[in-house]
Structure 1
């Protein structure tokens, strides 16, 4: 089960590229020693497979939960995925969290000969996959996960349709706070007001489920600095939200800038404002955010 909604959790997305086993093991153990509660692996064709990565992460750690952030729903046959989920959950001793998304990298769809389609059609495919997985675990004769009825589901995204689906079907709703922007050829951050709109949308859609949901945010960058404004104005940060003002960049929960103490206060503030109690950072920020975790614990 996921943590209580009012307790903070911290995750790190580790990049399982062409890592040697020893390198991956060292990263996972370091994440545990820094106090991370969840270690997650991505699902992209240029990286190693998420399920073996998750199982090795669990093998060499004791405390953290292990997850995917996030499986591309369009890539998977539901019966085969159900088997992988059940197997992985058993082998990680019930520590699995299942992150699922719609996929957004068109070149990956081209490489796998899977139709890219529209954002709406990809949400439809993800919903159909969730329906099929639920049926497999409820009525199928395949292996059942250790966690019943199946591991906690995290659904991540920013669009209204995927967030409505998350509100209805997930245990963890992950706000990516960014949408694909054709003019940039990549995603760009939404401002704090838009993020709050998304949170309100999820609460309204979830209705009676809302009190039981856990809210997550994927933090794009963590910068330890004595000068928050200068950090926000640097190209390395501004690129995440090229059409946001400096003030807006300083406000969003998807960027954490300042001293470790200031960032700890930002985490507390964002938790209060948005109801976010689960913060996931990218691997490059693992060490720096570890200093923030030490303060918050």
Structure 2
């Protein structure tokens, strides 16, 4: 499905007051974001209380989780949190799930953190949630990059989110793939989804936005996200935005045409800059 453009922002907060959090959420909505999302990390604010307050602070934006770590949540308890939150915020919740990736968090909880175990936990959680949320759950987003996660997303989620960033042993961390590989990931999802592909919304998580009149120089400032890619290939990525607001708006339109992406999510540091792009796309 290539529907209307939507824009989300993930708010990343270790500590703040009620007033500070509400101000931040109101600013996101005023900048034109359609979805205000909260992450799920042990050092950050807890996702569901944060989501509740985000909804209280705003009027129209959907409130998302980007993304809950499947290993952290028992399905019965999670179903209770999801249905309660969605009801109390007037049906504005968007439920995002993923495998998690921060090794220290798995260690802190005594959980296995190998990729197979993390993916299995996500598959089990989605399977268990299905009957618990049947007919009363919010839209489901599943985010990831590998075959197993994207296969699950293609078969079960209303929204598939592409991170475009597998773990790279040579760097000891995740790194972005090039545009051709990301397109192959999109085509993989469409093939697995079959007839339901037309109903799936495709999302991408952007790592950074750099406003500049010199795109090539701007690309050099984000090389850390994909150290093996030359500037011209960095500038093709829908996971990075580099240029003037007008140039980035054209990138968004181009990514929609090439990849079928209609839902773009940025991280909080890019919120104000990408807000200038949203203004041009409305």
Q: Which residue of 1 aligns with 2:124?
A: 128
User: 1:201 & 1:270 partners in 2: Cα distance?
Assistant: 17
1:221 corresponds, among 190, 204, 208, to 208
Say what the alpha-carbon RMSD is for the aligned residues.
1.0
2:133 corresponds, among 122, 131, 137, to 137
Q: Size of the alignment, in residue pairs?
A: 282
User: 1:137 & 1:107 partners in 2: Cα distance?
Assistant: 31
User: 1:266 & 1:137 partners in 2: Cα distance?
Assistant: 37
Q: Which residue of 2 aligns with 1:242?
A: 227
User: 2:149 & 2:101 partners in 1: Cα distance?
Assistant: 13
Q: Which residue of 2 aligns with 1:65?
A: 62
2:258 corresponds, among 273, 286, 293, to 273
The TM-score, its normalising length taken from structure 2, stands at 0.98
User: 2:267 & 2:133 partners in 1: Cα distance?
Assistant: 32
* Cα displacement string for residues 192-215 of structure 1 (whole angstroms, at most 9, x for unaligned residues): 000000000000000011000000
Q: Which residue of 2 aligns with 1:94?
A: 91
User: 1:293 & 1:193 partners in 2: Cα distance?
Assistant: 26
Q: CA deviation at 1:271?
A: 0.5
Q: CA deviation at 1:87?
A: 0.8
Aligned to 2:175, what secondary structure does the other structure show?
strand
User: 1:53 & 1:165 partners in 2: Cα distance?
Assistant: 27
* Cα displacement string for residues 272-293 of structure 1 (whole angstroms, at most 9, x for unaligned residues): 0000000001101111111101
Q: Which residue of 2 aligns with 1:207?
A: 194
Gaps of 5+ in 2: none
Tell me if structure 1 keeps the 8 A contact 2:249–2:280.
yes
Aligned to 2:250, what secondary structure does the other structure show?
helix
Tell me if structure 1 keeps the 8 A contact 2:112–2:118.
no
Q: Which residue of 2 aligns with 1:264?
A: 249
User: 1:250 & 1:158 partners in 2: Cα distance?
Assistant: 20
The TM-score, its normalising length taken from structure 1, stands at 0.93
User: 1:239 & 1:23 partners in 2: Cα distance?
Assistant: 31
- 283-292 or 180-189: which moved more? 180-189
User: 1:76 & 1:196 partners in 2: Cα distance?
Assistant: 32
- 10-19 or 213-222: which moved more? 10-19
Q: Which residue of 2 aligns with 1:181?
A: 168
> Does residue 1:152 correspond to 2:148, yes or no?
no
Q: CA deviation at 1:134?
A: 1.2
Q: CA deviation at 1:185?
A: 2.1
